[in-house]
Amino acid sequence: MNELVFFINNVVISGAVSGSIYAIGAIGVTLVFSIMRFAHFAHADMMTFGALMVFMFTALFPGAGAALGIPTPLLMLPIAMVITAFLAIGIDKTFYKPLREHGVKPIVIVIASLGVTLMLQGLIRLFAGTSSRSMYIEERKEIFRIDMPFDLATRPIVITEPQITLIIFTILAVIGLHLFLNRTRMGKAMRAMSDNPDLARVSGINTNKVVVVTWILAGSLAAMAGTFLSMDVSLTPDMSFFLLLPIFAAAIVGGVGHPYGAIAGGFLVGYAETLSVFNWSILLRRVHHWFPEWMEIPRDLALVGSEYKIVVPFFILVAVLVWRPTGIFKGKVI
């Protein structure tokens, strides 16, 4: 049964963790896409930025969380979300909006967003350097070990505190987003603008306001995803390039402009990654006696080595673009 525990630790839990992070990131990308019709490449750097803000505030008030009994980074998350939301609005006002009003092709705004990516990366590394840092400055990352009630399983299931909070926050974010998009006036206006921007304007919807709300959502969700990723592993200033591909793959798999699709896509990409780098020979060894004598089970039976993790989202992306460019949930036809 230890093998099963191993599987749960390395696939079920770690897939859920990266899936949640990709899902939250992909929601932001897909929202920006459906409202402003361009692929926002600077999204991953807004994630890094948000995490950095949390880190800075945690470094400033390292003991603040202990007083309330929660990890300090978690306490600082709302502040970072607000700051990142403002950053997102500011970036749009200074860089994207003038181009949009100039009526350029969407791909030009995509390039501009790459310029913004570089600016953010430069700033982040200018202030934070390039080394990775732990988000837990004065605290210890709490690790839960759950022993299995079987005699055969001697090893526990391991899950950390940030992983649990991440999964809870993801569920909350999804419910919140669902309620926002279906129950509130602003949420419906966002859906309307994603459906038919011209008619939204004609209906008297203030499209500029919708754009601002979109950036608030995208920015704060980005800060959340970046913070949880950094809490789970560590804060690495140049993590963004490795996040971009899985997040875009998730958004496209789910169907661009389709928030629920982005969530499903995030988990799909997350689980595909962990399943591909998982060493299956560990599970097969248990059932070795089923195989004929001459068959040896190689020690390494992972589909790809962990150094090639990035190939997985790319492969998914290509497969979707070839067979179903609108995504599995039929997103926007674009």
User: Applying CB under 8 A, which residues contact another protein?
Assistant: 38-39, 41, 95, 98-99, 102, 104-108, 110-112, 114-123, 125-126, 129-130, 185, 188-189, 191-192, 195-196, 198-206, 241-242, 244-245, 248, 252, 298, 300-301, 303, 305, 307-308, 310-311, 313-314, 317-318, 321-322, 325, 334
CA 108 to chain centre: 25
Q: Which residues pair with 159 in a beta bridge?
A: 144
Q: Rounded to the nearest whole angstrom, what is the least distance from the CB of residue 273 to another protein in the complex?
A: 14
* Residue whose CB is less far from another protein, 155 or 201: 201
* Residue whose CB is less far from another protein, 178 or 188: 188
CA separation (Å) from 199 to 191, 193, 196, 256, 264? 12, 8, 6, 20, 29
Q: Rounded to the nearest whole angstrom, what is the least distance from the CB of residue 310 to another protein in the complex?
A: 5
Q: Rounded to the nearest whole angstrom, what is the least distance from the CB of residue 57 to another protein in the complex?
A: 20
Q: Rounded to the nearest whole angstrom, what is the least distance from the CB of residue 99 to another protein in the complex?
A: 6
Name the nearest CA neighbour of 75 among 94, 90, 91, 62: 62
Contact between residue 269 and residue 316 where contact means Cβ atoms under 8 Å apart: yes
Q: Rounded to the nearest whole angstrom, what is the least distance from the CB of residue 202 to another protein in the complex?
A: 5
Kindly state the tokens that stand for 175: 């419910």
CA separation for the pair 23, 139 (Å, rounded): 28
* Residue whose CB is less far from another protein, 38 or 169: 38
User: Which residues are CB-neighbours of 139 under 8 A, at least 6 positions away?
Assistant: 62, 65, 66, 71, 72
Kindly state the tokens that stand for 154: 């001697």
* Residue whose CB is less far from another protein, 76 or 269: 269
**146 phi/psi in degrees, rounded to 5:** -105, 115
Q: Rounded to the nearest whole angstrom, what is the least distance from the CB of residue 10 to another protein in the complex?
A: 18
* Residue whose CB is less far from another protein, 127 or 144: 127
Q: Rounded to the nearest whole angstrom, what is the least distance from the CB of residue 115 to another protein in the complex?
A: 3
Q: Rounded to the nearest whole angstrom, what is the least distance from the CB of residue 198 to another protein in the complex?
A: 7
Residue 60: burial class (beta carbons within 10 Å; 0-12, 13-18, 19+): exposed
Contact between residue 136 and residue 259 where contact means Cβ atoms under 8 Å apart: no
* Residue whose CB is less far from another protein, 120 or 222: 120
| Backbone conformation region of residue 324, classed left if phi is above 0, alpha if psi is from -120 to 50, else beta | beta
* Residue whose CB is less far from another protein, 41 or 136: 41
* Residue whose CB is less far from another protein, 23 or 258: 258
CA angle 206, 211, 214 (to 5 degrees): 125
